[in-house]
Structure 1
Amino acid sequence: MEDKLMDYSYFQINEQALEVVFPEQINVEENKLVQQVSQKLIEEETTGVTGVIPAYHTLTVNFDYDLTSFKLLEGQIDSLIASSSGENMSVKRIVELPVCYDEEFGPDLEDVAEFASVSVEKLIKLHTGTDYFIFMMGFLPGFAYMGSVPEQIAMPRLKVPRKSIAPGSVGIAGAQTGMYPVESPGGWRLIGRTPIQLYDRNNPVLKYKSGDYVRFKAVSKSEYYDIQKQDQSGNYTLKTITEGGDIND
């Protein structure tokens, strides 16, 4: 753990919420620490803690002031940060997500390729050649903020957002990439779409979570529709890989 990641401070939001603030940066190691501390606060049923909200470089902790205090929680969080900083953070759980990179599904595909001065084929290789870390969930149910895309293809978001984006659309916004789990407005550059239903309000259990990695796998249009049909019938399972461990099909 780098010393700069141990440089953090506390901010009392109100009588029943505090925020742990780390250096403002998009950093995988730092975010893993945020998520580990968040998870331990819940798993260890820390007295008085009613909820946690991990983000890129902050952790918001909600608490019951009748059961604990700002100062008491500060000491407990200090201990969790100290113990978590020595743990192994190298294990990766990777979710492999099929994506069809076709103009029908990716209206910004050619624009991003032109921005990067590469062919569409090369753009697809660049986008699928990186495992993307999920820093946080937000904006929409199941929307994962992931990074970082190769700098060459890190095209800024649209100046005027689209009014409607189809579920499953995969986009780029600067160094970030992500998938729209439900129909929504949005300004990310759309380069493809996954046939997998990412969010179901009747069964809101997600296929990925903060701290996971997502690996995009390019599929053809015919494969897209075949996978979509399997997924809709409940006969498709995403491949998950534990780095250095088992592969589950």
Structure 2
Amino acid sequence: MEYDYQFVPVGEQSLNIVFPEVIDAAENRAIQSLARALLDTDEGIIATIPAYHTLTVNFDAFRTSFTELTNKIENVIKNHALLKNDDKKHIIELPVCYDEEFGIDLEAVIKYGKTTFEELVRLHTETPYLIYMMGFMPGFAYMGSVSEKIAMSRLKNPRAKVPAGSVAVAGKQTGMYPIEAPGGWRILGRTPVKLYDPAHPEPRYHAGDHIKFTAISKKDYYYIQKLDLKGSYELKELV
């Protein structure tokens, strides 16, 4: 599958490759594929930052220029057919407790979707979500797409503090708060897994991965939390 794209300079040592402005899994997988391929080249590329419909490329201005690099990227795309729909998935299972103590917006989302608690949990856990991009804060994954029935919009007035581990939705997006932070997403539950540790900042998941939420009881929440704090809990990889 081919996509239209354009190059946009964003600084002396950065450029954006801009694709059609949609939230589309196939397009995002193509962007992730291109990001990995460019890092494998020896073209003065320092880093690649994939997002929903853009790919930021940071480069060494002493080794290449905007014009030179765009020509090289064009060749990579054309010669290696990188913009293809790759259906392979890396799925990570993440436990979530949907107890009302943790899911402070459960009632509002249930009312919005004219559904039940059981149906809401089923809808939120039945499908693996693609991580389109990482951002906002370390370890925060922007994922989609959520069922229309529970795709409630953000709060008009964001909360000053959202507890670490909170799992939430904002329209068709879903994600987890890795640390306590302000936020306006609708909170459905909480994971007992520590999503960000400044002493070990490497995230436990990356853009291009899929997250599969699994509902757990409050008892299991505290049990897993203890294991995770001891460093003896490993996230399951389903694929």
TM-score strictly above 0.5: yes
Structural RMSD (CA): 1.3
Mapped partners of 2:167, 2:62: distance in 1 = 45
Say which of 142, 151, 155 aligns to 1:154: 151
Alpha carbons 1:7, 1:22 under 8 Å: kept:
yes
SS at match of 1:62: strand
- Aligned position for 1:102: 99
1:48 aligns with 2:44: yes
For residues 1-43 of structure 1, what are the alpha-carbon distances to aligned partners after superposition, in whole Å with 9 as ceiling and x for unaligned? Answer: 1x4xx21111122332211110000011111111111112222
Mapped partners of 1:133, 1:29: distance in 2 = 10
- Aligned position for 2:68: 72
Q: Percent identity?
A: 52
Mapped partners of 1:88, 1:175: distance in 2 = 21
- Aligned position for 2:216: 219
Mapped partners of 1:124, 1:95: distance in 2 = 18
For residues 49-81 of structure 1, what are the alpha-carbon distances to aligned partners after superposition, in whole Å with 9 as ceiling and x for unaligned? Answer: 222221111111122222112222112212332
Say which of 172, 179, 185 aligns to 1:182: 179
- Aligned position for 1:61: 57
Alpha carbons 2:26, 2:85 under 8 Å: kept:
no
Say which of 67, 77, 80 aligns to 1:81: 77
- Aligned position for 2:170: 173
Say which of 207, 228, 232 aligns to 1:231: 228
Q: Tell me, which stretches of 5 or more residues in structure 2 are unaligned?
A: none
- Aligned position for 2:34: 37
SS at match of 2:238: strand
Alpha carbons 1:170, 1:193 under 8 Å: kept:
yes
Mapped partners of 2:76, 2:237: distance in 1 = 29
Alpha carbons 2:164, 2:179 under 8 Å: kept:
yes
SS at match of 1:61: strand
Mapped partners of 2:206, 2:222: distance in 1 = 25
Give the counterpart letter for 2:75 in structure 1: S
Mapped partners of 1:231, 1:199: distance in 2 = 12
For residues 135-154 of structure 1, what are the alpha-carbon distances to aligned partners after superposition, in whole Å with 9 as ceiling and x for unaligned? Answer: 00000100000000001110
For residues 206-243 of structure 1, what are the alpha-carbon distances to aligned partners after superposition, in whole Å with 9 as ceiling and x for unaligned? Answer: 1110000000000000010111111111111111022x
Number of residue pairs matched by the alignment: 238
Mapped partners of 1:137, 1:111: distance in 2 = 27
1:241 aligns with 2:238: yes
Length-normalised TM-score, structure 1: 0.92
Length-normalised TM-score, structure 2: 0.96
SS at match of 1:91: coil
Alpha carbons 2:50, 2:133 under 8 Å: kept:
yes
SS at match of 1:85: coil
SS at match of 2:237: strand
Mapped partners of 1:230, 1:28: distance in 2 = 34
SS at match of 1:211: coil
Mapped partners of 1:76, 1:159: distance in 2 = 45
Give the counterpart letter for 2:43 in structure 1: T
Give the counterpart letter for 1:190 in structure 2: I
Between 223-232 and 30-39, the greater mean CA deviation after superposition: 30-39
